[in-house]
Structure 1
Amino acid sequence: MTSLALLLIGYSVFSALLLAFTHFRAGRYPEQPVSRAMGLVLLAALAGLQLLHFAWLQWHADVVHSPLYSVLLFLVAPAFFLFSQPLLTQKEGAGRPRALWWHAVPVAAAAALPWGVALPLAFVLGTGYLVWLARSLYRLRAERAGYRRELVLLSVVFAIAVAVALMGQFHALLPGKLFFAVYAVCIGLAFLLVQLTLALRPALPEEVRQTVQTAYANTTLNNVDCEATLTRLQALMQNGHAYTDPDLSLPRLSEKLGLTTHQLSELINTRLGKGFSRYLREQRVDAAKAMLCAEPSASVLSVGLAVGFTSQSNFYEAFREIEGMTPGQHRKLHVGQGT
């Protein structure tokens, strides 16, 4: 168990750094600065716990009974809550400083708590936050069909979190360093499952946020001719090539269609079964597929930029997500077949 724990500790720290520099870029959370900041805090707390686990398991340095360990332990649950809340609810005030301060109270008090009290109490607190998460996901049950694969993976993460919370109440029954080795393994497995989920759907947080906006809002389409608007939207994309604008956004496209952003978001979600960001990526990838085959001498980067992507990495990420292969692989497969 210790060897597996050490291996997954290394993976966890590497994964935390990778997520911080790739997934948590500012461009992925343009309207959710609190969610992005708390995501980074969560990564730092989990990586910090794993480094302390490493020092204890490998070097026998008794850092897991320190105030620092208690603070990091108490930090995980509220950081995850504050990361998730703006994505899963429509509470505009959730990210204001006055609404955040009370989450920091247990974290600040953790350093002064006796270790024997701090450890089980941290997991009790975490259980409370998990109950809130389960309740929020249940309220979105009608929209979950579009995220089946991702929800399976995230459900396993949720199950791991519940198991750890229960284990924390009976840690004294686990001999020696076994509790910390098992906890380190659980954190590592959670990182692995999150990476798999984001590999399947890199823009998942943005898509969930747009879905939530539609789910919580009253319909805004009462006075909108949805079929005619969808026809105009298709014309803008197919004939007007609106997707080639790298700065195309939901507000900009809704202005072109004479709609509000909420109306366009609801229209795409309810009639097309996807969020705006997913819809736009699909339009760009479809255009790129045609260009890759029609212009075999054009570089992959030039094709990606021509259809509206802002970088090669964004192009590859979206293409792999939607088509299950890279643009180069698609070209080789289809040009080689003469299609």
Structure 2
Amino acid sequence: MVFFVARHRDRRDKHQVTIASCQIVPSLMFEIPLPFVVALLLAILLVRLTLRGPAGPVGRSLRIFVAASLALVIMVGLRWQFDLLVFRFLRPLFAAMLPPIAWMCFAALGSEERSQTRWRWMHVIPVLAIFIASLTWRQWHIQVDFLIAVQFAGYGIALIVLASRGEDRFAQARLGDVGSVRSIVAVVGGALIFSGLVDGLIALDFSITQGTNVATIVGTAQLVVLVVLALLMVRLERHSPQTTKLNDSVTEAALSQQKDDPQGNNDIAEDDAILAAIDEVMHAQHLYRDPDLTLDRLARRVVIPARQISGAINRRFGRNVSQVVNEYRVAEAQMLLQTTDKPVTEIMFDCGFQTKSNFNREFGRVTGMGPRAYRDADPYPDERQSDQPFGPIRKLFSENAESREQG
């Protein structure tokens, strides 16, 4: 990250410190340390997230992550601007805290039973180890830079693995945006790995050329990594629910039952029972119309753990939860296209879609044609729609019943 140049605290003189500065107006010899420039950008992003960002745990995680990055950048700037002993000790601590914070921010997007794990305190261990190594550097000469680089690489790999997991790991993201959020997590993990590699490259350059190429390495790496992370945070802001507060009347007993999540036998009957519960809330409460619907909210409504919902839908449909929910939306869109004269855009919003591109893509996946072509191609709408079961789950049950009768 922006602290690459701040890692090698006792191997530079006053002249070398200037490699962390960015000459903004050469003719006036006016120099602003690059960490403070990046800090200004992060501060603007933090203000934007606070005033216009999403609410609930998703928004809170975003603000914590950006605030931690901002604190680290400011600490790096203070370290090289004043070179006080207190900043020498605090800089490695601030650096070591960022990877665990990044992990906990994205892990918090999972379902409630996954997010509230009792092992979260273990993330403090590497932070304390790095801080102790920094305090005792003159006595033991522990390679603090190497420890931080390994920590960044390890958390980066963990984030990439997290991004490859199922939808229940991102149950508090909008169902239609889970794919985008997973890609963001993967890129953030890659950025952390890149940060660790840059640290190693800087250490290698100091050991071989006494830091001759550090200015080029630092100037490129600082800007690339932090700008990418800032852009990713803005994108995640757009792909998160505007609120995760629930109006559901869920009792404490029901929530405790949800957290138990016993490892039962996941046979077809149990999967169908889960699907029936989902279908009930979809029909009775029209939950699919909520554009900010998340897997976590769906799990709370049916009082079934998100992991079981995701597993049952994947096994019975071979598709993910987002696609099945979109099929409910498409089913209502089909009905409205056949029975009303509403504009297509109005129907799109009424059914829970937010963007025309997503609506057209999902409608085409389900029906094989666009919404306007579907409306034009149906001369007898009432007769064709009246016999069809509404929604993918009831269609699945109907097909299974016909198969048993024919067998």
Q: TM-score, normalised by structure 1?
A: 0.57
| Equivalent residue number for residue 103 of structure 2 | 81
| Equivalent residue number for residue 61 of structure 1 | 81
Is residue 42 from structure 1 mapped to residue 42 from structure 2 by the alignment?
Answer: no
CA distance in structure 2 between the aligned counterparts of 1:74 and 1:136, rounded to whole angstroms: 20
Letter in 2 for 1:72: F
Q: TM-score, normalised by structure 2?
A: 0.49
Are the aligned partners of 2:39 and 2:73 in contact in 1 as well (CA < 8 Å)? yes
Deviation at 1:183, TM superposition (A): 2.0
| Equivalent residue number for residue 287 of structure 2 | 243
Deviation at 1:154, TM superposition (A): 4.6
C-alpha RMSD over aligned residues: 5.6
Deviations 1:263-293 (A, max 9, x none): 4443234445234x77657756975898899
Deviation at 1:42, TM superposition (A): 2.9
Deviations 1:97-138 (A, max 9, x none): 754543542465477366995444322322233344455556
Is residue 15 from structure 1 mapped to residue 45 from structure 2 by the alignment?
Answer: yes
Is residue 183 from structure 1 mapped to residue 222 from structure 2 by the alignment?
Answer: yes
Are the aligned partners of 1:12 and 1:47 in contact in 2 as well (CA < 8 Å)? yes
Deviation at 1:186, TM superposition (A): 1.1
CA distance in structure 2 between the aligned counterparts of 1:61 and 1:186, rounded to whole angstroms: 22
Which residue of 302, 314, 322 corresponds with 1:254?
302
CA distance in structure 2 between the aligned counterparts of 1:3 and 1:296, rounded to whole angstroms: 59
Deviations 1:215-258 (A, max 9, x none): x9856532626568647755753x54532797994355426xxx
Larger radius of gyration: 2
How many residue pairs match? The answer is 292
Are the aligned partners of 2:163 and 2:182 in contact in 1 as well (CA < 8 Å)? no
Deviations 1:149-189 (A, max 9, x none): 66555544433322221211232433448526632431221
User: 3-state SS of the aligned residue for 1:170?
Assistant: helix
Is residue 202 from structure 1 mapped to residue 240 from structure 2 by the alignment?
Answer: yes
Q: Unmatched 5+ residue regions in structure 1?
A: 30-35, 207-212, 310-314, 326-333
Are the aligned partners of 1:13 and 1:50 in contact in 2 as well (CA < 8 Å)? no
CA distance in structure 2 between the aligned counterparts of 1:15 and 1:241, rounded to whole angstroms: 37
Are the aligned partners of 2:58 and 2:108 in contact in 1 as well (CA < 8 Å)? no
Which residue of 186, 191, 194 corresponds with 1:163?
194
CA distance in structure 2 between the aligned counterparts of 1:24 and 1:125, rounded to whole angstroms: 30
Are the aligned partners of 1:53 and 1:64 in contact in 2 as well (CA < 8 Å)? no
CA distance in structure 2 between the aligned counterparts of 1:282 and 1:15, rounded to whole angstroms: 36
CA distance in structure 2 between the aligned counterparts of 1:228 and 1:292, rounded to whole angstroms: 31
CA distance in structure 1 between the aligned counterparts of 2:83 and 2:341, rounded to whole angstroms: 60
Deviation at 1:73, TM superposition (A): 1.0
Letter in 2 for 1:128: G
Are the aligned partners of 1:42 and 1:79 in contact in 2 as well (CA < 8 Å)? yes
Are the aligned partners of 2:106 and 2:185 in contact in 1 as well (CA < 8 Å)? no
| Equivalent residue number for residue 266 of structure 1 | 311
User: 3-state SS of the aligned residue for 2:81?
Assistant: coil
Q: Unmatched 5+ residue regions in structure 2?
A: 1-20, 25-33, 170-176, 245-257, 362-370, 377-407
CA distance in structure 1 between the aligned counterparts of 2:214 and 2:191, rounded to whole angstroms: 20
| Equivalent residue number for residue 4 of structure 2 | none
Letter in 1 for 2:66: L
Aligned-residue sequence identity (percent) comes to 14
Are the aligned partners of 1:12 and 1:188 in contact in 2 as well (CA < 8 Å)? no
Are the aligned partners of 2:149 and 2:200 in contact in 1 as well (CA < 8 Å)? yes
User: 3-state SS of the aligned residue for 2:194?
Assistant: helix
